[in-house]
Structures are given as C-alpha cells and as structure tokens.
Amino acid sequence: MKTVYDFTVKNKAGEEISLKTYEGKVLLIVNTATGCGFTPHYEPLEEMYKEMKEQGFEILDFPCNQFANQAPGSDEEIQTFCTMKYGTDFPRFAKIDVNGETADPLFVFLSEQKPFEGFGKGLKVAALKKFADMNNKTYGDKAYIGWNFTKFLIDRKGNVIARFEPTVDMKEVKKAVAAALEES
C-alpha cells in the first residue's frame, strides 16, 4: 500500500528530499500562499508546531500560485515573508502546482486518498466557492485542491487520515493533530 513516504519533493534549494525523512512523525501537509485571505493561518500553524514538535509533529509547507496568483514571489521571497511576518520555523518546500497536468504527484495522491467534499456552509464559504469554482474549472477533473491552505493530516505510518479545507476552524485541526499524536 502506497504512503506519503513513497514520494520525494523539492526543498527550497531545489534538492530532492524523500518524505521517508519524516517517517514515524505525524505530518500536516499544507498548500499555502502569501497573499491569500487565509494567510493568517500561518499563526496558528506555527503555534501548533512549537507546541507539538517535540511530540513528533511536523508541518510541511508547499507554496502554490495556482489560486488567483496569491503566491507570486520566488521561493526565497516566500521564505522571507513567512519568517519575518509570522515567525514560521516549520519546513517550507519549493513552490509547486497542486492542480492540473503539472500537479505535484504528492498532492494528487493526497487528494485521491481524501477527495474534496466541499468548503462547508456560510456566507464566507459561498464567496470562496464562487472564486474557487471559477479558478478550478480550467483544471477540470484535475482540480485536486479547492483553494490555498488545504491541510492533510498524516499518521506516523504515512497514511492520510484527514483533510481540512481552509474554511475549517484551526482549533478543529489542532484537535485532530493532538489526537493523531496520542494514537501513535
């Protein structure tokens, strides 16, 4: 059975990194953007990381510019922004695509394991859905990710156990991470 450990990704320097490096840890894999309305998610993500890192938790950050050009900077500019504005210390990888023919294989796999089921309900969600639908229609059946800050929770064995859309309250994400750390 395939797990996230079967994938390699590129770090900020463009070097191939095997996700086996993170074997035995609980992972939260996130596609991010520096100019998105959800960019403030970096704050609770960093808080979680600081609080739970010693328990075997890692956040893997993958910038993506496929949603309304909200991550236009270079990998270096994105790194500088995130560390200066939000003080992030978790691993950030090279910018990738998460949708379409050029989608990174890791995100295709993650989305196949936990497909998109909607953003939820409410006025904010309705507005996001409208933008996401317009953006993602160009990718057709290869629109794997609905928007920036989609999060995938991985257990210590490399299995995808949950998917959180950007509209999910970060307290819920934190609860799920804590539960995964206790289970393992």
Q: Is 36 a catalytic residue?
A: yes
pLDDT of residue 37: 85
Of residues 90, 91, 89, 111, the one with CA closest to residue 100:
111
Of residues 60, 47, 50, the one with CA closest to residue 92:
60
pLDDT of residue 184: 58
pTM for the whole structure = 0.94
Q: Domains along the chain?
A: 4-183 (3.40.30.10)
110: enclosing H helix or E strand:
helix 105-113
176 close to 153: Cβ distance less than 8 angstroms? yes
Active-site choice (36, 106, 128, 176): 36
- Give pLDDT tens digits for 40-92: 999 999 999 999 999 999 999 999 999 988 888 888 888 888 888 888 999 99
